[in-house]
């Protein structure tokens, strides 16, 4: 390989203008449904355990996915079975 092979081009890095999703490059392993919980722009901001932040969305919206639900708080009484 050479240096040029290791550098992403602008075209490779831009998201698809219709779907809002990143472009899949030939060497990337994308498994069906994996992006639903882990898309690229989940930017969590830690409230350091402060319970007053429960239920607040702590990340920005993501083109192609929208705004994600807030994470479960410390006092959530749901069990994993109830979420399904």
Structure tokens at 26: 């030939």
Residue 7 CB-half CA count within 13 A? 5
Predicted local confidence at residue 1, as pLDDT: 66
Q: Can you list the pairs that 20-27 forms with residues at least 24 positions away whose Cβ atoms lie under 8 Å?
A: 20/62, 20/63, 20/64, 20/65, 21/64
- Taken in order 34, 36, 38, 40, is the CA torsion positive or negative? positive
Question: Mean pLDDT per segment of 10 residues, for the chain of length 84 residues?
Answer: 79 78 79 68 55 74 73 65 59
Provide the token pair at 56: 């607040």
What pLDDT is recorded for position 29?
Answer: 81
């Amino acid at each position: 390989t050479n240096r040029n092979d290791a550098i992403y081009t602008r075209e490779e890095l831009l998201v698809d203008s219709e779907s809002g999703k990143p472009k899949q490059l030939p060497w990337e392993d994308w498994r069906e449904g994996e992006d639903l919980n882990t898309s690229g722009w989940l930017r969590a901001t830690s409230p350091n355990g402060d319970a007053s932040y429960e239920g607040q969305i702590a990340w920005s919206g993501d083109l192609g996915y929208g705004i994600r639900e807030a994470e479960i708080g410390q006092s959530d009484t749901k069990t994993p079975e109830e979420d399904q």
